[in-house]
A and B are shown apart, each in its own frame.
Chain A
Amino acid sequence: MASAATTLTGAPGAPGAPGAPGAPGAPGATRRGPSLPTRVLRFVSRHLVATAAALTLLYMFLPVFVVVLFSFNDPAGRLNYTWNSFTVSNWANVCGVPGMCDAVWLSIQIALLATVVATGLGTLIAFALARHRFRGRAATNLLIFLPMATPEVVMGSSMLALFVNANLIALGFWTILLAHVMFCISFVVVTVKARLSGMDARLEQAAMDLYADEWSTFRRITLPLAMPGIVAAALLAFALSFDDFIITNFNSGSTVTFPMYVWGAAQRGVPPQVNVIGALMFLVALAVVLGGQLANAARTRRP
């Protein structure tokens, strides 16, 4: 009863006015408990936070819902922006629009190569930063941080400036790959380094105490413990590369990756098959992440 009343009187102004005048009618008997504004705020924090969080999740998922919904649309005209009628033909003929599946396949190839190279280079740097003392650590940290703090449009245009001025390599597959590896490295370093510095260094010391040499300590202890971080970094690199538009747009020449295809299509009218690919990306990535979580849970449950 009382709490319902508090909610009604207190809730609207509550977050902004912590010192809101205590309700004059507060019964003296409850003096032992927390004060009225506190109870209001406790209620607010208990339920408003959850409500706000749920609304944010809704905001996040609304476009995904629309992407999936419109992948089943049979658009009336060129534009797939208004709902017309339900069809599964977009899913049955994903590659029915010319060029799209080629673009997807090209994006997959570039992303796989960029992932392998960036994960390798970035993991080595992460080990150096987390496990070694050396001169120039601050400069290294800065060089890792800068690409993440640089807007894509600056990175893309600067690489184009380099390629145009150096004139050694034609814009296309290889320039896209070089650029993708570059911006993936920093994210790999940060992800792997976080995993390494979260590890208990005493495990490695214990291995050494038990007469493991440096190499077998690394292979039997450090690497298995770091593996989840390396896998996460590789997945992140793949996702970043596959989805990159701005940097690719500067360095692709006439090569068409999937984002480039969507961009071109957006000027004319996006075929619903693009939504099928969007929905598939969502489902595949979700399956990978959930699979990883389940595998992780199974591993920790095992004695």
Chain B
Amino acid sequence: MSALTAVRGGAPPAPAEPVRRRRRWVPYALLLPGLVWLAVFFLAPMATLFSTSLQVGSIDEGYRPAFRVANYTEALSAFSEQFFRSFGYAAMATVLALLVSYPLAYAIAFKAGRWKNVLLVLVIAPFFTSFLVRTLAWTAILGDQGLLLGQLKEIGVLSPDFRLLARPFAVILGLTYNFLPFMTLPLYASLERIDRRLLEAAGDLYSSAFTTFRKVTFPLSLPGVVAGTLLTFIPAAGDYINQRLLGTPRQSMIGTVIDSQFLRVLDYPSAAALSFTLMVSIVVLVWFYVRRAGTEELV
């Protein structure tokens, strides 16, 4: 980060914090209400989730506190398929989102000129409409007699039983679509921050446009790539809206299972075990990924 800050051009380097006599308790007073809220409604639920995941009993007799680790092994062996599918779909959606977003973010950062703000509004505007409504719109587009296939089938390009919905394709397309701004905006932010003089310098040193991109632009945009891929991958791995609306039970993801175990089967311990495992595996993945990518400050 410090290297990036050092080469940043526009804003003057942030001066060291002014030496002021401040009352010591002020920051804690500012932090207290919000952090208490997060402790009670984020940390405490996580702890409860963990203790629930080890409980024994049934919904009729009630669940009792225990330390039954077998809840984990049973739940994971029953639903490992959904786990791997979630991570696979999320990874594919993330890569696709990166490929689709990068040119757009690049164009806005470097080529838009005075249209920059308009384009940024256009990037987020589609996501103003409801998540569920826009996902349902894809069923109208991809449906068997929908806007896309209906026409192609009528002119005989496709056979009448060709389908896009209810296939992994539709679920991955929906996941890619729904989290696009989370990829585009961090990418844009890091591209925008690049000092143009570095790119000019590369050109002056006879670097081709592609080499400049590979050796200067892309490495400097890595914080955006890291943030964007995380912000896409994490919600995509836990999502089940796209699977439920665009897919079939054959594309079940882990979110689907957690939802139904918690809300319909009412098997709280196994649902909690799955949920907690999802949380831990994502934290571990993020941890390794961020360390490899070498970006410390994400917030």
A residues sitting closer than 8 Å to B (CB atoms) are: 15, 18, 34-35, 37-38, 41-42, 45, 48-50, 52-53, 56-57, 59-64, 66-67, 70, 80-83, 120-122, 124-125, 127-128, 132-134, 140-141, 143-155, 157-162, 164-166, 178-179, 181-182, 185-186, 189-190, 193, 197-198, 200-202, 204-205, 208, 214, 239, 243, 245-246, 249-250, 258-259, 262-263, 266, 270, 274-275, 277-279, 281-282, 284-286, 289-290, 293
A190 to B127, CA, bound (A): 20
CB within 8 Å for A157 and B38 given contacts A60-B123, A66-B140, A152-B235: no
Interface centre among B11, B129, B135, B237 (most CB of A within 10 A): B129
Chain B residues with Cβ under 8 A from A35's Cβ? 208
- In the bound complex, do residue B104 and residue A149 qualify as a contact, i.e. CB atoms below 8 Å apart? no
A268 to B271, CA, bound (A): 27
Partner of B137, one of A45, A70, A178, A293: A70
Interface centre among B30, B100, B131, B263 (most CB of A within 10 A): B30
CB within 8 Å for A289 and B121 given contacts A201-B15, A278-B130: yes
- Per-residue CB proximity of B257-299 to A under 8 Å, as 1/0? 0110011000010011001101100110010000000000011
Interface residues of B: mostly helix, strand, loop or mixed? helix
- In the bound complex, do residue B299 and residue A18 qualify as a contact, i.e. CB atoms below 8 Å apart? no
Chain A residues with Cβ under 8 A from B210's Cβ? 15, 18, 37-38, 41
A243 to B131, CA, bound (A): 7
- In the bound complex, do residue A124 and residue B48 qualify as a contact, i.e. CB atoms below 8 Å apart? no
Number of A-B residue pairs with CB-CB distance less than 8 Å in the complex they form: 297
- In the bound complex, do residue A132 and residue B130 qualify as a contact, i.e. CB atoms below 8 Å apart? no
Chain A residues with Cβ under 8 A from B124's Cβ? 289
Q: 14 A-B residue contacts at CB 8 Å?
A: A18-B208, A37-B208, A49-B106, A53-B108, A57-B122, A66-B141, A124-B31, A147-B38, A154-B276, A181-B41, A182-B37, A182-B38, A185-B38, A246-B238
Chain A residues with Cβ under 8 A from B108's Cβ? 53
**Chain A CB within 8 A of B147 CB:** yes
**Chain A CB within 8 A of B46 CB:** yes
Complex A-B, nearest 8 residue pairs according to Cβ-Cβ distance, in ascending order: A151-B238, A285-B128, A278-B133, A52-B103, A121-B34, A158-B45, A132-B27, A53-B107
Smallest Cβ distance from A116 to chain B, in angstroms? 13
- In the bound complex, do residue A82 and residue B150 qualify as a contact, i.e. CB atoms below 8 Å apart? yes
Least CB separation from B148: chain A residue: A62
Smallest Cβ distance from A163 to chain B, in angstroms? 8
- In the bound complex, do residue A161 and residue B279 qualify as a contact, i.e. CB atoms below 8 Å apart? no
Known: A34-B208, A57-B123. 19 other contacts (CB 8 A): A56-B100, A63-B126, A80-B140, A81-B140, A121-B34, A128-B30, A143-B42, A151-B239, A153-B258, A154-B279, A189-B34, A197-B14, A200-B12, A239-B128, A246-B259, A249-B259, A259-B132, A262-B130, A266-B132
Least CB separation from B30: chain A residue: A128
Smallest Cβ distance from A209 to chain B, in angstroms? 11
Smallest Cβ distance from B144 to chain A, in angstroms? 9
Chain A residues with Cβ under 8 A from B41's Cβ? 159, 162, 178-179, 181-182
- In the bound complex, do residue A151 and residue B278 qualify as a contact, i.e. CB atoms below 8 Å apart? yes
Smallest Cβ distance from A179 to chain B, in angstroms? 7
- In the bound complex, do residue B140 and residue A161 qualify as a contact, i.e. CB atoms below 8 Å apart? no
A289 to B124, CA, bound (A): 10
- In the bound complex, do residue A56 and residue B49 qualify as a contact, i.e. CB atoms below 8 Å apart? no
A6 to B168, CA, bound (A): 39
Smallest Cβ distance from A161 to chain B, in angstroms? 5
Chain A residues with Cβ under 8 A from B175's Cβ? none
CB within 8 Å for A200 and B128 given contacts A132-B22, A154-B275: no
Chain B residues with Cβ under 8 A from A125's Cβ? 30-31, 34-35
- In the bound complex, do residue B209 and residue A134 qualify as a contact, i.e. CB atoms below 8 Å apart? no
Q: Which B residues, 84 to 112, have Cβ-Cβ distances below 8 Å to chain A?
A: 100-101, 103-104, 106-108, 111
A293 to B34, CA, bound (A): 30
Chain A residues with Cβ under 8 A from B128's Cβ? 239, 281-282, 284-286
**Chain A CB within 8 A of B226 CB:** no
**Chain A CB within 8 A of B33 CB:** yes
A259 to B239, CA, bound (A): 15
- Per-residue CB proximity of B190-221 to A under 8 Å, as 1/0? 00000000000000000011110110000000
Partner of B134, one of A63, A124, A186, A205: A63
